[in-house]
Structure 1
Amino acid sequence: MNIHAPLLLRRAFAMSKTLPGSCAAEDGVLPLANPDDGSKSRNWGLLLPGVIGGTLVALYAVTTPFIAPALRKYCLPYVPATSTQMEHVLKMLKGRHGSLVDVGSGDGRIVIAAAKVGFRAVGYELNPWLVWYSRYRALREGVHQHARFYISDLWKVSFSQYTNVVIFGVPQMMLQLGEKLEKELHRDARRESCDSGQMLKAG
């Protein structure tokens, strides 16, 4: 029998306790699991659903105002005016003055352009994100005192105070909107309408 075996075993055991990551027991007591590991798992379990839920809520808040018009009686989607349409608006407003309203003002480009040439311009838009963006653009371009934007349904607005009306609508709504404007506008008021991307027509 090797008499040095017990001594070698004791030395090996002592060395194992000093090695990094060693799981050897000390004084006969097994090492306990780190309680922080369970806490981290629980924290991730609570954090992940919160992040997903917050993302979905934010996505809903941003996209709903753009999708909602498609669910209304008259679908009036957001379609920015082209540069050609912008030129026609300004051309048909040449020689005119006073107040102007853009019915469904979108990102505010018509209202801002009108304000730059001297009109007191107002835009009505149902999408709050577009209204806030329009206000920011008007402020950035220095015409915020002459270009105002409001979150409102066009059917609930009275247009009697305006002398110039710009309309970018769809054929389905133009008849009813025309009747509304006929009742509310003064005789010297002028309407410029654009149906489904066609050129502006004065009325």
Structure 2
Amino acid sequence: MENKNTGKPDCGCDPYLLSLIETPQGQQPIAKKSNRSTGLILASITGGAAIALSVVCFPFVSPALRRVVLPYAPASTQQVENVMKALSNSSNKGKRLIDLGSGDGRIVLAAGQRGFQSHGVELNTVLVLYSKLAAWRQRIKNATFSRQDLFKVDYTKYNNIVIFGVEEMMPELEALFEKSLTSSSQIIACRFPLPNWKPSYVVGEGIDTVWVYEV
């Protein structure tokens, strides 16, 4: 039956109860509002996560945008041991060491524990902070780190230069060393040798090989 006053079907229900369940004109249903709010929350969470990920990853990606790239690849335990052997074989060279592209600082820390005044240069800010924290926790006061371009280092301060380079950059480093090293220095190249210099001796084999050049 149709209600003469409203023009709507009359189900015999109380008009007051019907008014409670009807959606007022111009108002969105509650379910639609809830879906919209949920969508906004999810979008905010996704956007926030993307921004946070960008902030965390930027220090690792930014060095790749530079002219010279030293990708972060931690030295193996055997590589560290080979570098330490090379250092022990040349104690007459002095106790000042610099590690180019020091990464998480393990070479610098190991050398510091053996009495070297060791310093690591690294472009990645996160790795520099991590290395400083490791030196502090291990109480190695003669191991220091800085964020610096390896082409702007004063190499005359150091007797031992350790480099974990990539093959493409070794010729440029070789030219740099020819101009800037003193006569009492040695270079310890890991993973890739200098292209034109003949090493004084070699420690290890395979990926853990260390080439030692006495200047």
Fold conserved between structures, TM > 0.5: yes
Distance apart, 1:111 and its partner CA: 0.4
Higher mean Cα deviation, 175-184 or 67-76?
A: 67-76
Residue of structure 2 aligned with 1:172, choices 168, 177, 200:
168
Change (3 A) 1:76 1:25: farther
* Equivalent residue number for residue 10 of structure 1: none
Asked whether the 8 Å contact 1:161–1:185 carries over to 2, the reply is no
Q: Secondary structure at the match of 2:71?
A: coil
Q: 5 Å matches for 1:12-161?
A: 30=20, 44-94=38-88, 95-96=91-92, 97-143=94-140, 145-161=141-157
Identity %: 40
Distance between the aligned counterparts of 2:22 and 2:142, measured in 1?
72
Mark the runs of 5 or more structure 1 residues left unpaired by the alignment: 1-12, 14-23
CA 1:66–1:40: 2 relative to 1, 3 Å: same
Indicate yes or no: 2:178 matched with 1:182: yes
TM-score, normalised by the number of residues in structure 1: 0.74
Inter-CA distance 25–81: structure 2 relative to 1 (3 Å threshold): farther
Does the residue aligned with 1:133 lie in a helix, a strand or coil?
helix
Q: 1:70-117, CA deviations, whole angstroms, 9 ceiling, x for partnerless residues?
A: 454444211111111111111111125421110000110000001111
**Counterpart residue identity of residue 85, structure 2:** K
Compared CA separation, residues 32 and 195, structure 1 to 2 (3 A): same
CA distance in 1, matches of 2:176, 2:17: 92
Partner in structure 2 of residue 201 of structure 1? 211
Give the whole-Å Cα distance in 1 for the aligned partners of 2:37 and 2:160.
60
CA distance in 2: counterparts of 1:181 and 1:25, whole angstroms: 94
Greater Rg over alpha carbons, structure? 1
Q: String of CA shifts for 1:110-149, please: whole Å, max 9, x gaps.
A: 0000111111111111111211111121122111x21111
